[in-house]
Structure 1
Amino acid sequence: MSNRLLSCLLAVLLLAGCKKEAVPTTAATTTETVGNVTVSNLDFNYLTAKSQISLDDKNEKLSSGISLRIKKDSVIWVSVQPGLGIEAARLMLTQDSVFVMNRLKKEYIATDYAYLRNRFLVDMNFEVLQALLLGNYQPQGTEKVMTAQDQQHVQQMRENLLFDYFIGRQNSKLQQLNVQDTNTGNTITVKYDSFRELGSVPFAYGLAAQVLQQGETSFYTLNHTKVTVTDEALSFPFSIPGDYKRHGMN
C-alpha cells in the first residue's frame, strides 16, 4: 500500500475538531442546545462495517476496501484490504493512542494524537473522530441554533475552527458538516447520504468529504456496503510482528 493511500485513509478517518469551547464570534445571539436541537444519533455497543474508501485529487486517484470495527467510546479498528484477500495495513485508535501497521513495508507507527495534529494541522481527539465516522452530532454547550429551510443549522466556534452542522428535519440526522479554519482559510465539507435504517435509527452509508487546503482541493469518499451493530463483544487484534520496524514519523 502506498503512503498516499495510507494518508487517504487517515485523512477520511481523522477530519476532526478541538476540545475547547467558546461562544461563536459570528453569532448575534446564542442559545443552549440542550433541548433545542432534534437529532437521532446512533447508539450502540459494537459496530462492524465493510466499506470502500477512495481519494481523488489532481495528483492521483486511489481506492481500497476496508473492514471497520468500533467499540463505542473505546476503540476504532480498521483493516485495509485492496483486493485478492490481502491485508495491506491495519489501524487502531484508542482514547489516547494511535497505531498504524503497514504490512507491505513491514513498519508501524505507535504514537498519540499530537502526531496527527502536527501532520494534518487540525486538533483532534477520539470522541470527535468517532462522531464524524458515525455521522453523529456533538453538542458543545453554548451554540447558535438557526433555521435553514428544511434543516436545523447549528454553529459552533472552537478556538480558530468554525463548525456549521446541518441536521435534516425529516430524519433528524446530520446531513452536512462544514469546518473552516479562520486563521488559514482551509475548509472541510463533509456530506452524509444514502441513509438506511440501522436498528431504529437512520444511518448514512455514504460519506463524501471535500478538503480545501493551501489552495488545493482533494475529495475523499467512504461508502459502506454492510453495517451491523451488536451487543456481542468484538475482537480488535493488533499484534506487531517482531521484524517490523518502527516508523520515524518525521
Structure 2
Amino acid sequence: MNKVLLIGLLAVSLLTSEGCRRQRVLRGAPTSAGADTSRIATAPASTSSTASTTAVASTPTGTSSTTGSVRSEPPRPRPGIEEARANVAEIDFKYLTAKSKFSLKSKDESNENASMNLRVRKDSLIWFSVQKLGIEAARGIATRDSIIILDKINGEYSVFDFPTLSRQFNFDLNFDLLQALIVGNLPLPKRPAQKIKNERDYLLLRQSEGKVLVENYIGEDDRKLKKLMVTEQPTKNTLRLDYADFKALNSFVFPYTSLITLDYKSDADGQFYQKLLQIRHNKVELVDKNPGFPFSIPANYKKSKQ
C-alpha cells in the first residue's frame, strides 16, 4: 500500500505543478517562510542529490538596424518561444494547501474517489493525508532527507530516502525537485539556452536527466502546459500527463483536472501493463498562515518490509 501511495505522491507532485504557470510575473523577490515546527519521531540520515539537465542552444533571433537620423530599434522577441519561457517563472509563497479527489485504476486494483489533503512549507516540508470513506488511511511527510508514510489501516510505516528512490525511478529525486514540481516549475532545472520547437498545436520543450526524457507540450495560443511525456529510455516505460479544467489561481493558471497514464514493463513476466490515475482538485490556495503539519510515528507501528 505504501508503495502505491509513494507513486501517488510523486505523480501528484508532477500533476500539481506542471500546469501551474504564470500568465504575468506580478510578484517581487521571494520571501522566506516563517519558522514553525512539526513532530517527527523518525529522522533518517541526511542525504542530498542534484538534478542535471541536457540543454542545447536555441536559434538566435534576428536584429534590425537603420541608417541616418532614424534610431535603430532593439530586436523583438520571437512570439511563442519567448512567451513560453516567461510562463514558467517561479512563484513566491510561504505555504501551499490543496484538497483533491483521486481515482486509481489498474489490472489488479481500483480505488475510486479517495480524498487527499496536501500542504507545503517552502524549502522544508511536504505533508499529505489520504482519506477513504471518511477514514484517514494514510499520512505522509517529505523532509529534506526522505519521505515517511504511515499506513494507518495496517499500523505500519515506511521510510524512503532520496538516493534509493533515485535508483529505483532512474531519475535524480530530491526534496527541491518535488517542491519545484508542486509549486510550478519544470521537472528539470531550466538553463538560459533550451531547445523549443513547434509541434503541431504545441510548443515542445525537451529536457533530459540521465536515461529519462521529459517532453513538455505548451499550448501555442494560451501558453499553458497541456501535457507532459516522461520516457525511460532503456525500458520504454512511459508516464503521460494530460491537463484540463484550467482556472485562475491568484496570478497563475492551474489545471483542476489531470490524468496520468502509466505504461510500464513488469519485472515479473516481462509484459506491459497500464495504470490510470485521475486527479480532481477541489481547492488550491497559496497562504501566509501556517496550516499545520501534524505528524508522528505511533510507538506500536511496525516498519514495513520493502
Q: TM-score, normalised by structure 2?
A: 0.69
Pairs within 5 Å for 1:134-145:
134-137=183-186, 138-141=188-191, 142-145=193-196
Percent of matched pairs sharing the same residue = 33
Aligned to 1:162: 213
CA distance in 2, matches of 1:123, 1:13: 17
Q: Does 1:242 align with 2:293?
A: no
Aligned to 2:51: 19
CA distance in 1, matches of 2:104, 2:214: 23
Spell out, residue by residue over 1:190-228, the C-alpha distance to the aligned partner (whole angstroms, 9 max, x if none).
122211111121111122111111121211111111111
**Alignment coverage as a number of residue pairs:** 242
CA distance in 2, matches of 1:170, 1:42: 21
Which structure's CA Rg is the greater one? Answer: 2
CA distance in 2, matches of 1:183, 1:134: 30
CA distance in 1, matches of 2:157, 2:242: 31
User: Which residue identity lines up with residue 130 of structure 2 in the other structure?
Assistant: V
Aligned to 2:130: 80
CA distance in 2, matches of 1:42, 1:172: 15
Q: Given that residues 9 and 53 in structure 1 are in contact (C-alpha distance below 8 angstroms), is that contact kept between their aligned partners in structure 2?
A: no
Q: Given that residues 88 and 184 in structure 2 are in contact (C-alpha distance below 8 angstroms), is that contact kept between their aligned partners in structure 1?
A: no
Spell out, residue by residue over 1:54-74, the C-alpha distance to the aligned partner (whole angstroms, 9 max, x if none).
211122211311111112332
Q: How many angstroms does 1:47 deviate by?
A: 1.3
Judged with a 3 Å threshold, the aligned counterparts in structure 2 of structure 1 residues 157 and 120 are, in CA distance, closer, same or farther, namely closer
**How well do the aligned residues superpose, as a CA RMSD in angstroms?**
2.8
Judged with a 3 Å threshold, the aligned counterparts in structure 2 of structure 1 residues 8 and 160 are, in CA distance, closer, same or farther, namely closer
Higher mean displacement: 165-174 or 91-100:
165-174
Q: Given that residues 2 and 151 in structure 2 are in contact (C-alpha distance below 8 angstroms), is that contact kept between their aligned partners in structure 1?
A: no
What SS is found at the alignment partner of 2:136? coil
What SS is found at the alignment partner of 1:143? coil
Aligned to 2:67: none
For structure 1, the 5+ residue unaligned runs are none
CA distance in 1, matches of 2:279, 2:176: 19
Pairs within 5 Å for 1:13-52:
13=12, 19-23=51-55, 30=58, 37-41=85-89, 43=91, 44-52=93-101
CA distance in 2, matches of 1:199, 1:151: 25
Q: Does 1:70 align with 2:120?
A: yes
Spell out, residue by residue over 1:83-135, the C-alpha distance to the aligned partner (whole angstroms, 9 max, x if none).
22x11110111222111011111111233113433554544222333343455
What SS is found at the alignment partner of 1:91? strand
Query: Whose strand proportion is higher, 1 or 2?
Result: 1
Judged with a 3 Å threshold, the aligned counterparts in structure 2 of structure 1 residues 10 and 115 are, in CA distance, closer, same or farther, namely farther
CA distance in 2, matches of 1:174, 1:129: 18
Higher mean displacement: 133-142 or 70-79:
133-142
CA distance in 1, matches of 2:256, 2:248: 10
Pairs within 5 Å for 1:1-250:
2=1, 6=5, 9-10=8-9, 12-13=11-12, 19-23=51-55, 30=58, 37-41=85-89, 43=91, 44-63=93-112, 64-84=114-134, 86-137=135-186, 138-141=188-191, 142-214=193-265, 215-249=272-306
